[in-house]
């Protein structure tokens, strides 16, 4: 019989597209002894977690809770509850994860209109308006922070536009929540899903979702059962609602983690958190550009928490990322889909949006680029970042 040795993973600085490093306070909370998932004291913790989630989403939606699964389950929860077979949905695709919404909607039997724009770009309101007029869909789905391209989609006016055309607005905020502004009520968003392992500085394992009263009404009027039993919010809400009716055994430790992660977010303050991400992004961007690297997302629409940069000509993607990992213990992400082998994705999310992370990755990346013969002025990246911080 063979028994594995004691768990002792290497130390990493996770600066990829996720997961990001977990806040030390969250790790401490996860070591708390378990309660039963129907224990009266755990129900109090559930209420507290829901209340803080509403604050993070900037909503008063009653149907707000973390799905007991990762971010992709949040995507599927929103799609399969809002869409019945034959329902029309417009999906805005400007990267890998917009394409994944299409795949989920196909499996739900939706009548899909796919609206595309080049990777790294964002949609303008006129193109979406024209499509809504033509198609008259039940749902419009769009990614706010496209993790595959680093593009930041403006969505402030989309809810109002959708409602003018009697459509529901579904937003992917997986890489947005806790990093950049997201105003669910003020922007009239009907359904949103996110994750725990990025801006909330928790491990992967939960997917926060929220549904507007308009969305709840649409779900109540369905003519068919939701495709997924486990993700049917009409049943899950009975566990997270006043009934506390048994639906599944909640991941207790992950609820502890999310509760503590949300406490940290709200202690800092959402506006302060958004500004912190922006400041560290500006420093990183100055350093990367000083080393000759270019962003892949359109100017003016570059995410502060997910920096996608083009790999210089002649540089071996896997070799550079491998060197970052083995010599410096730093993980950055490679490209997906159309950007595979063409970009690096550097995440500064949640707990990892700190000056020391910026300086570390710039210094290490400079070493890797010089090793492959790139013409980089030694020290230029860190100097440019420090200039931003000094200002």
pLDDT tens-digit series, residues 354-369: 999 999 999 999 999 9
Asked if 313 and 340 sit in the same domain, the reply is yes
What is the reported pLDDT for 101?
98
Query: What backbone phi and psi angles, to 5 degrees, belong to 79?
Result: -65, -50
Asked if 230 and 302 sit in the same domain, the reply is no
- Mean pLDDT score, 274-287: 98
The CATH number for 58's domain is 3.40.640.10
**What rounded mean pLDDT belongs to the chain?**
97
Asked if 99 and 179 sit in the same domain, the reply is yes
From the DSSP assignment, how many helices (H) and strands (E) are in the chain?
13, 14
Residue 74 domain flag: yes
Asked if 60 and 197 sit in the same domain, the reply is yes
- Is the pLDDT at 245 greater than 90, yes or no? no
Q: How far apart are CA 10 and CA 14, in angstroms?
A: 12
Asked if 74 and 154 sit in the same domain, the reply is yes
Asked if 79 and 210 sit in the same domain, the reply is yes
Residue 1 domain flag: no
What is the reported pLDDT for 272?
98
For the chain, the helix, strand and coil percentages under 3-state DSSP, each to the nearest 5: 45, 15, 45
Collapsing DSSP to helix, strand or coil, 306 comes out as strand
Asked if 76 and 39 sit in the same domain, the reply is yes
Check residue 58 and give left, alpha or beta (phi > 0: left; psi -120 to 50: alpha).
left
What is the reported pLDDT for 161?
98
Residue 73 sits in which domain range?
A: 24-267
Question: Burial level of 88, CB count in 10 A (0-12/13-18/19+)?
Answer: middle
What is the reported pLDDT for 110?
98
- Is the pLDDT at 345 greater than 90, yes or no? yes
Asked if 213 and 279 sit in the same domain, the reply is no
Q: How far apart are CA 297 and CA 305, in angstroms?
A: 13
- Mean pLDDT score, 100-126: 97
What is the reported pLDDT for 241?
84
Residue 298 domain flag: yes
Last residue of a domain, one of 208, 238, 267: 267
pLDDT tens-digit series, residues 169-215: 999 999 999 999 999 999 999 999 999 999 999 999 999 999 999 99
Q: Are 54 and 209 in contact (CB under 8 A)?
A: no
- Could you please report the per-residue DSSP string of 294-305? -BSSPTT-B-SS
Asked if 254 and 337 sit in the same domain, the reply is no
Last residue of a domain, one of 233, 267, 301: 267
Asked if 38 and 87 sit in the same domain, the reply is yes
Asked if 176 and 77 sit in the same domain, the reply is yes
Number of domains in the chain: 2
Cβ within 8 Å of residue 215, ≥6 positions away: 63, 82, 168, 190, 191
- Is the pLDDT at 244 greater than 90, yes or no? no
Asked if 147 and 163 sit in the same domain, the reply is yes
């Amino acid at each position: 019989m063979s028994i594995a040795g004691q768990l002792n993973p290497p130390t990493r600085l996770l600066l990829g597209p996720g997961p990001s490093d977990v806040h030390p306070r969250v790790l401490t909370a996860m070591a708390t002894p378990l309660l039963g998932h129907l224990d009266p004291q755990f129900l109090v913790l559930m209420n507290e977690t829901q209340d803080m989630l509403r604050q993070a989403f900037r909503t008063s939606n009653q149907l707000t809770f973390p799905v007991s699964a990762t971010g992709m389950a949040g995507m599927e929860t929103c799609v399969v509850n809002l869409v019945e077979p034959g329902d029309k949905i417009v999906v805005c695709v400007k990267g890998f994860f917009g394409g994944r919404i299409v795949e989920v909607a196909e499996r739900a039997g939706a009548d899909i209109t796919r609206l595309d724009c080049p990777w790294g770009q964002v949609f303008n309101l006129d193109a979406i308006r024209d499509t809504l007029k033509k198609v008259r869909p039940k749902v419009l789905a769009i990614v706010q922070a496209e993790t595959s391209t680093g593009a930041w989609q403006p969505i402030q006016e989309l809810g109002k536009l959708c409602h003018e055309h009697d459509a529901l607005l579904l937003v992917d905020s997986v890489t947005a929540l806790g990093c950049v502004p997201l105003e669910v009520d003020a922007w009239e968003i009907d359904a949103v899903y996110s994750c725990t392992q990025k801006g909330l500085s928790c491990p992967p394992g939960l997917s926060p979702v929220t549904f507007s009263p308009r969305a709840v009404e649409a779900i109540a009027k369905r003519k068919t059962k939701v495709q997924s039993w486990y993700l049917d919010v009409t049943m899950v809400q009975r566990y997270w609602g006043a009934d506390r009716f048994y639906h599944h055994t909640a991941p207790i430790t992950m609820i502890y983690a999310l509760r503590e992660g949300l406490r940290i977010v709200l202690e800092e303050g959402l506006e302060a958190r958004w500004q912190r991400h922006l400041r560290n992004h500006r420093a990183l961007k100055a350093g990367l550009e000083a080393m000759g690297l270019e962003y892949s997302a359109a100017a003016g629409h570059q995410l502060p928490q997910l920096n996608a940069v083009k790999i210089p000509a002649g540089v071996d993607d896997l070799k550079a990322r491998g060197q970052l990992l083995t010599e410096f213990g730093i993980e950055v992400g490679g490209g997906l889909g159309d950007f595979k082998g063409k970009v690096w994705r550097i995440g500064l999310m949640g707990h990892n949006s700190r000056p020391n992370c910026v300086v570390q990755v710039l210094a290490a990346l400079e070493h890797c680029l010089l090793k492959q013969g790139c013409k980089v002025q030694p020290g230029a990246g860190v100097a440019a970042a420090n200039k931003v911080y000094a200002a």
